[in-house]
Amino acid sequence: MEKNITPINQLSWKDRLKSYKKHPGSFILLLLVGTSAVITVTVLVYLVGYILIHGVPYLRPSLFSLTYNSDNVSMMPAIINTITMVLLALLFSVPFGIGAAIYLVEYAKKGNKLVELVRITAETLTGIPSIIYGLFGMLFFVTALHWGYSMLAGAATLAIMVLPVIMRTTEEALLCVPDMYREGSFGLGAGKLRTIFKIVLPTAIPGILSGIILAIGRIVGETAALIYTAGTVAEAAGVMDSGRTLAIHMYSLSREGLHTNEAYATAVVLLIVVLLINGLSSLIARKLEAATK
């Protein structure tokens, strides 16, 4: 008869200590993991608390005026520009990222050298500093294509930045879908395209949305790439107009040194916007996951 083994996370502390005496390496690993978790949570709490303490007292109605001037330094135009930038960048990056992942997982042959080249290229693009993307966007979109400093140029640049993240996370999500789902669909007479859009993609939606959430976080917090492509005009901008996002607005206020308190207040709003976007995306992911079950 096989001996029942109780998982270590279900043991009492006394039994755990006995186990750790026999395996001191496990105890050291436990200390390292626990210390890392405590440090991570402490740093996060400190940063959030610091921003809230220095920013909340300076949140005034004038900061949410529809027009910006040197007196109220309103962030409302920047909020509008941030939402516009996120929508435009996702409009460019999501279809290409998901489409590339579908090709790599569903259509490309295993062992294909092109697939490995694409994956290496995507991983390389992920590590390139944002200032390099900004310089490329300025030379190509702003100058070569004559788009000028505009929201469109900034969104196109950000789309290139977040494309590898969306592509790689979507690829991993598709790889996690069991092959029996595909085989069952084929066995019932469904074609390749119908199987992908009716079976595979709905199952992988939570993982795909995780990549989109990461992309949104990078878009909202980006400054260097947008300074060279979208500009820093503090007005609600159209697609072909120059405008600043919340991150650039906060950077500009802190750099000038005249509205440091308002910069902290902008940081609070930026933090709330990111939390709301992540929370909304997570809620949508849970709803879609429940709908597919």
pLDDT one-digit tens code per residue, 14-36 = 666 666 667 677 778 878 888 99
111 residue type, one letter: G
Inside any domain, residue 4: no
98 residue type, one letter: I
Are 162 and 231 part of one and the same domain?
yes
Inside any domain, residue 8: no
Residue 152 has pLDDT above 90, yes or no: yes
φ/ψ bin of 257: left (φ > 0), alpha (ψ from -120 to 50), beta (otherwise): left
Inside any domain, residue 32: yes
Residue 1 has pLDDT above 50, yes or no: no
Are 145 and 42 part of one and the same domain?
no
Inside any domain, residue 2: no
Question: What CATH number has the domain bearing residue 249?
Answer: 1.10.3720.10
User: 225 with 134: CB under 8 angstroms?
Assistant: yes
CA distance 99 to 208: 12
Are 98 and 238 part of one and the same domain?
yes
Are 259 and 115 part of one and the same domain?
yes
185 residue type, one letter: S
Q: What is the pLDDT of residues 61-74, one digit of tens each?
A: 888 888 888 778 88
User: 243 with 121: CB under 8 angstroms?
Assistant: no
Closest CA to 48 of 251, 268, 248, 214: 268
Q: What is the pLDDT of residues 113-127, one digit of tens each?
A: 888 888 888 888 888
Are 174 and 224 part of one and the same domain?
yes
Question: Which domain range does residue 164 map to?
Answer: 63-291
Inside any domain, residue 7: no
Are 54 and 67 part of one and the same domain?
no
Inside any domain, residue 260: yes
Are 175 and 193 part of one and the same domain?
yes
Are 172 and 281 part of one and the same domain?
yes
Are 25 and 142 part of one and the same domain?
no
CA distance 184 to 72: 62
pLDDT of residue 5: 53
Which of 23, 40, 58 marks a domain boundary?
58
Inside any domain, residue 162: yes
